[in-house]
Amino acid sequence: MEFKVALGPQHPALHEPISLRMTLEGEIIRDADLKLGYNHRGIEKLAESRTFIQNLYLTERICGICSFSHQTCYTQGVEKLMELVPARRGLYIRTLICELERVHSHLLWLGVAGQEAGFESFFMYTWRDREVVMDILDWITGNRVHYSMNTFGGVRRDIDELQKKKILDTLGLLKTRTEYYLNIGASEPTFANRLAGVGKLSKEKAIALCAVGPTLRASGVPMDVRKDDPYAVYDEIPFEVATADSCDVLGRAVVRVKELLESYKIIEFLLKNLPEGPFKVKAPRKVKENEVYSRYEAPRGENVHYIKSNGSDKPERLKVRAPTLANYAATIAMLKNGFIADIPLIFAAIDPCICCAERLVQLDNPRSGESKVLSFSQLRAMANDRYKKINFKKKDSAWPF
Amino acid sequence: MNAETIVEKINSAIRDKIQEIALTAPRRVQLKVAREQLNAVLTYLKEQFGFTHVGTISGVDLGENFEVVYHMSNDIATVNVRILTPRSEPKIPSICAVIPGAILYERELQDMFGLVVENIPDPRPLLLADDWPAGQYPLRKDWHYERPAEIIPGGE
Amino acid sequence: MAILKPLLYILVYPGLIFLLVYSTFCEWFDRKLYARMQNRIGPLHTGRSGILQPVADIIKLFAKEDIVPEKADKHMFSALPVFSLAIVCTAALYLPVWHYSEAPSFNSFSGDLIVLFYLLSLPTLIFFLAGWHSTNFFSAIGGVRVLTMFFGYEIPMLLALLSPAVLADSWRILEIARFYQNRPLLMLVNIIGFFIAVIALQAKLERVPFDIPHAETEIVGGQFTEYSGKKLAFFRLLGDIEMVVGAGLIAAVFMGGFPGGLLPGLAWFILKTLFIIFLLTAMRAALSRIRIDQMINFSWRWLAPLAVLQLFIVIIIKGMEL
């Protein structure tokens, strides 16, 4: 028997609103479809009416986890438009925060994977360690989530010797913990069996569907913007691109843990080779008429900003493509012929970050497959009507009886 | 192989199919082609240099025309292939036959700019609400958002 | 006096009042232990070290709005939680605490092991019916998963419980317990069966790694998706009491019961059930949820053959002894 189920826009496994429509046959998924737009905020349109400096803080608010990715991607694009060479110390600090953000994002993902698989202890442990990174970020930037560190020509704050020392000290702790997680992921049989062989994506399909980031690297394609198209100071840093050949969720987890270990090395390198000098240079206000295509390796994959300027202090066009959008096509391919039990895992394996505004609510009758569209005002009227119909007992009731 | 050799090879092999080519920044190649030649050029890029990854497809409203930029990447360089399409007849060919992963970007273009993508495998709206009025394309320069007056049913 | 004793037995100990108090305590114990194993603190503010938190949770649920879905079968939907709670409370009466008469009575007779086992498997059926009558997709999937899993763990558990009974040559829990009290070394013979029974009990209680029927990230609340307010509170109480009764059954059959009269018996009961709950909590903290097909595979590939092996061992030992 085939029947249709709509997972989301509100579902415990989805941390942000997106609608997954599944055609199921028993416990097996036969067809899958995505519906986006529940969180579309019109940032690209908004950016056209803001100045370049205002957009610096707007782009940061595209995402709550990889806020620095979007801001850096935008900043280095605009710097190229301004033909500005940023301060070297500034670039080192920028790269440092990029890597710290990657560490925090990957630890977060490991926790989410644990939770989706039903492994609560793993979730608690990784999120405890994530707090360590969050504290470092808080200490050197002043904020836990939206760091606001970038400015055209460098960064806004310097770091001192004490901060350097503290970061190096905590890295050792994080390294031992990460190795422990790698060990758990590989040896704990219930967890490894849940991840292995789930959400297969062959190398050819991953390339054809333009997947990015750990999703692509776990299918054996060593694509990493930090290597292919180095930005900031990545061309000076020795590091390896982590890949896996297993093409499944376990591979994606392994890639992320390996990247964590690489990130620790990069952070160590950056702190030990931090050049002296100014951490920012003065930037012009106006931008020449030009265009730039800026790429950035966010924790979730390749992040892309296309900026076109028209000679004024506002951009003509800012196009943002977050890594999650690039991975949706691959997700649908991965979901087909999987189990219901694997939906949250497969979906979580691309590390979805649904940055897309509430304008309506769609109600689905999954029995008949009919859809009914209600506007927000209609829905509110319905709720009010229903509320009036309920007979409340008029007497005052005291808590709890 | 680097970006310079890619420019040279394109210049020597498919000079007749392209309109302009330039190396604007390190690892960035700008390529302008006619609408009709788009799929042929992309196929050539894919088979010759391994440009299999489309970063995104950006649409820009230039007033008279729409500019559509296909950002193709491989492990060496990025080629920005651009086409122009007139506002009176906003049609672009679908590239899904060459690069299947471009489907979501093409659907986004249809939503946001009102471009008609010919031969698109899946023409449903992607981002906009289901009760979005027809003929409204938010990212066109002449589209402005006006917040509707908020009416609370039954309220004061 | 003849009436008073059964009445006390049903209402106070080990009946309703004791069960309610002790099962909420066990939930607190489980939650606190689980939290400490995960580097958390757990319940803290209600009562001393949060010991009243489970009670507060249940009172809160009783005060909440009680919603019945429009298309659901209202009578069935409302009756199921009450029935299931009644069933597990009845099952608790068959635990061999306090009564010491050799003569069979209303709660201790030859074959009460099977009765208790049967009563403990009824809530599973009720979970399925609850899921089915909710008319929700997630509930229906949850209900079907409950039944699928039932076929996986029920037979290994029954086989595991059989072997101590075969060795003790009795179907009466009291006599089985007394047999092992007299010969404690023979308890070691049943060690495989003991672990099978603990694993099967974990599956029966639908806790990690067997929380497949109400796996939150997959099918929301499973069979409980549509339940709220009082009815959900009943189901929660049911889970706690089932845990105590299940742990009591394993303690009575495998660990020599609760000897020594009223107070030492109570102490033994608490000690032994808490030990089993500790094992269950450790299992919950150390493992990840498995898929339904992996669960069935696991129980038929490992649990059932091991249970049969345990039965063979017992038969051989019995043959040597006699």
Model confidence band, residue B155 (pLDDT cutoffs 50, 70, 90): low
Comparing CA positions, the residue from C53, C26, C49 lying closest to residue C281 is C26
Residue pLDDT, tens place only, A298-324: 888 888 889 988 888 888 888 888 888
Give the residue from chain A lying closest to C34, CA to CA: A121
Residue pLDDT, tens place only, A251-284: 888 888 889 999 999 999 998 888 888 888 888 8
On the CB side of C111, CA atoms within 13 Å amount to 2
Residue pLDDT, tens place only, A161-179: 888 888 888 888 889 988 8
Inter-chain Cβ pairs, chain A and chain B, closer than 8 A: 100
Q: Which residue has the tokens 């801001």?
A: A71
> How many residues does the structure list for chain A?
401
Instruction: Please give the biggest Cα pair distance in chain B.
Output: 73
Domain regions of chain B by residue span: 3-118
Whether ipTM tops 0.95, in short, is no
Inter-chain Cβ pairs, chain A and chain C, closer than 8 A: 81
Find the helix or strand (DSSP H, E) in which B94 lies.
Answer: none
In this structure, the number of other CB atoms found within 10 A of the CB of residue C75 comes to 10
Mutate to test the interface with C, among A119, A181, A250 (most CBs of C within 10 A): A119
**Domain B3-118's class?**
alpha beta
Judge contact between A239 and A265, C-beta under 8 A. Answer: yes
Task: Note the pLDDT of residue C307.
Answer: 92
Residue C229 φ then ψ, to 5°:
60, -135
Q: Is the pLDDT of residue B34 over 90?
A: no
Alpha helices in A66-87 (DSSP H): 67-82
Pick B55's closest partner by Cβ from A295, A328, A359. Answer: A295
Residue pLDDT, tens place only, A98-128: 999 999 999 988 888 888 888 888 888 898 8
Distance separating alpha carbons of residues C61 and A294, to the nearest angstrom = 53
Hey, what amino acid is at C1?
A: M
Judge contact between A196 and A248, C-beta under 8 A. Answer: yes
Report CA dihedral (A5, A7, A12, A14) to the nearest 10 degrees: 160
Find the helix or strand (DSSP H, E) in which A365 lies.
Answer: strand A360-365
Tokens representing A384 are 């009010």
Residues forming beta bridges with residue A365, ordered by sequence position? A370
Distance separating alpha carbons of residues B4 and B79, to the nearest angstrom = 12
Interchain touch B–C (≥3 Cβ pairs closer than 8 Å): no
Residue pLDDT, tens place only, A192-251: 888 888 888 888 888 888 888 888 888 888 888 888 888 888 888 888 888 888 888 888
Say whether residue C140 is in contact with chain A using an 8 A CB cutoff: no
Strand pairing class (A315-321; A301-309)? antiparallel
Residues of A with CB under 8 A from a CB of C: 3, 5, 11-13, 27, 114-122, 124-125, 128, 188, 190-191, 193-194, 339-344, 366, 399-401
Q: Is the pLDDT of residue C209 over 60?
A: yes
Distance separating alpha carbons of residues A37 and A61, to the nearest angstrom = 17
Give B78's contacts in chain A (Cβ within 8 Å): 229, 293, 295
Comparing CA positions, the residue from A47, A99, A66, A36 lying closest to residue A328 is A36
Residue pLDDT, tens place only, C128-182: 998 888 888 888 888 888 988 998 899 999 999 888 888 888 888 888 888 888 8
Find the helix or strand (DSSP H, E) in which A30 lies.
Answer: strand A28-35
Distance separating alpha carbons of residues A61 and A70, to the nearest angstrom = 8
Residue pLDDT, tens place only, C252-303: 888 887 877 778 888 888 999 999 999 999 998 888 888 888 889 889 999 9
Judge contact between A152 and A85, C-beta under 8 A. Answer: no
3-class DSSP state of A182: helix
Model confidence band, residue C31 (pLDDT cutoffs 50, 70, 90): very high
Say whether residue A202 is in contact with chain B using an 8 A CB cutoff: no
Distance separating alpha carbons of residues A130 and A127, to the nearest angstrom = 5
Comparing CA positions, the residue from C293, C292, C297 lying closest to residue C142 is C292
Q: Is the pLDDT of residue C99 over 70?
A: no
Domain regions of chain A by residue span: 43-349, 361-392
Judge contact between B22 and B30, C-beta under 8 A. Answer: yes
Mutate to test the interface with A, among C52, C288, C299 (most CBs of A within 10 A): C288
Distance separating alpha carbons of residues C234 and C214, to the nearest angstrom = 16
How many angstroms away from the CA of A118 is the closest CA of chain B? 32
Candidate CATH numbers 1.10.10.10, 1.20.1340.10, 3.40.50.720, 1.10.645.10; the one for domain A43-349: 1.10.645.10
| Structure letter (DSSP) for residue A336 | T
Mutate to test the interface with A, among B42, B127, B141 (most CBs of A within 10 A): B127
Q: Give the Å distances, CA to CA, from C281 to A320, B147, C37, C274.
A: 47, 54, 9, 10
3-class DSSP state of B74: coil
Task: Note the pLDDT of residue A1.
Answer: 66
% pLDDT > 70, chain B: 97
Say whether residue A70 is in contact with chain B using an 8 A CB cutoff: no
